[in-house]
Amino acid sequence: MTRTEAYITLNLLPKIGPVRVRRLLEAFGSPEKVLMMSAGEIARVSGFSQDLAEVISHWEDHCDLPHELSRIRDLDLKIITQEDDLYPSLLKGIHDPPILLYVWGNLTARDHHAVGVVGSRGATAYGMSMTKKLSFQIAYSGYTVISGLARGIDTTAHEAALAAKGRTVGVIGSGIGKLYPPENLALAERMAQNGAVISEYPVDRIADKQTFPYRNRIVAGWSSGLLVVEAPTRSGSLITAQQAVEQGRTVYAVPGNIDRPSSAGCNRLIQQGAKLVMDGGDILDDLMTLFPTAPQAPKVEESRPSVSLTLEEEILFKALGTDETHINDLTERSGLTPATVSSTLMRLEMKRLIRPLPGKRYTRLV
């Protein structure tokens, strides 16, 4: 048995978990040795009953390792343990880091620098709009966007990161072979090409009410900071925010109308000390202060942006010139329709090339 296979075996066993595995490793030195110990030797370790020790010492009776290894090969998954350099460094430091990570796609050293984005599954148009803008800016700056691949805010965050040609990682509350929600399979496939889908659960583990809250600690623990875009007062996103605080992470929140239930959770977070966010730069500037070696935003030429622009974006960027310009003047100068001008301005804003001003005026940032 290889060391990785031993870790997979420990992860398959019921009622063990990361904290108990750490105690076993401290006692016996390696996962292979743990599986060779007798029940009596294991029972002497703090936190292990005789019944639990029997499960570990007779592990062949409680898990099907050959089947799990076959499923890993079938889905072309990678296994990352805490001994691997690609295991997220911040995640390794939490109280109960995952024993291992099943990875669909690829992790890179760049993914050590990440921002978590979470929010309501039943997101409003406002929440979706803010998620698109902020996640695009975060991913374009060089940070990996991490979320839970759930409906609503999570899905929008991943899609915006991909639109920015950045990296994104989805941490799911099921095994990768039972991906949930199933309608996000196509999105997950795209993420695996420029990021990864991650789970700590065996390949065919079905999601339940316990797996979702538990996976949230990974989103919080992996991230340099956690952004809550939209959340009611009773929300799993607020649980993730609390975990982030306990793990020493900075929590950021997008404000909303005080009479809107969907914004009540974020407004409360701000009241309790979360940093109010109106633009991606609010997060990026703060993280650069906390982590000076974090990835830098792409440099741009003085004359024109170095990012790829569509024809409409190029026309509108040139029409903007170097002065503050009203949207009506931009429409006249560019010859584009008002609807095209509005949507194109949003894309340029998300690429951090222009800034909106009061009175429907815009100015270049480069």
Q: How confident is the model at residue 301 (pLDDT cuts 50, 70, 90)?
A: very low
Q: Tell me the C-alpha distance between 78 and 354, whole Å.
A: 40
Predicted confidence at residue 321, as pLDDT, reads: 75
CA distances from 166 to 44, 131, 159, 200 (A): 49, 15, 10, 24
Domains of the chain with bracketed CATH: 1-63 (1.10.150.20), 103-290 (3.40.50.450), 311-364 (1.10.10.10)
CA atoms within 13 A on the CB side of 97: 18
Predicted confidence at residue 90, as pLDDT, reads: 95
Q: Is 290 buried (19+), middle (13-18) or exposed (0-12) by CB count in 10 A?
A: exposed
Determine which of 267-271, 276-280, 355-359 has the lowest per-residue pLDDT on average. Answer: 355-359
Residue 305 has pLDDT above 90, yes or no: no
Q: Tell me the C-alpha distance between 3 and 259, whole Å.
A: 55
Predicted confidence at residue 35, as pLDDT, reads: 97
Closest CA to 88 of 75, 105, 100: 100
Determine which of 186-190, 223-227, 262-266, 292-296 has the lowest per-residue pLDDT on average. Answer: 292-296
Tokens of 44: 């002497």
Per-residue pLDDT tens over the stretch 321-354? 767 888 998 999 899 998 888 878 878 877 778 8
Q: Give me the sheet containing 225-228, strands edge to edge.
A: 78-81, 100-105, 195-199, 168-171, 144-147, 114-118, 225-228, 250-253, 275-276
Per-residue pLDDT tens over the stretch 19-77? 999 999 999 999 999 999 999 999 999 999 999 999 999 999 999 999 999 999 999 99
Q: Tell me the C-alpha distance between 39 and 246, whole Å.
A: 35
Note the pTM of the prediction, 2 decimals: 0.79
Q: Give me the sheet containing 361-364, strands edge to edge.
A: 325-326, 361-364, 354-357
Predicted confidence at residue 323, as pLDDT, reads: 74
**Given 3-state DSSP classes, what are the helix, strand and coil percentages for the chain, each rounded to the nearest 5?**
50, 15, 40
- Residues of the chain with pLDDT > 70, as a percent, come to 94
Q: Tell me the C-alpha distance between 26 and 21, whole Å.
A: 9
Residue 290 has pLDDT above 80, yes or no: no
Determine which of 124-128, 183-187, 209-213, 296-300 has the lowest per-residue pLDDT on average. Answer: 296-300
Q: Tell me the C-alpha distance between 286 and 293, whole Å.
A: 13
Averaged pLDDT, 3-19: 95
Neighbours of 154 (CB within 10 A): 29
Residue 199 has pLDDT above 90, yes or no: yes
Averaged pLDDT, 159-180: 95
Predicted confidence at residue 303, as pLDDT, reads: 41
- Residues of the chain with pLDDT > 90, as a percent, come to 73
C-alpha of 124 from chain center: 20
Predicted confidence at residue 353, as pLDDT, reads: 84
Residue 190 has pLDDT above 50, yes or no: yes
Q: Which residues pair with 24 in a beta bridge?
A: none
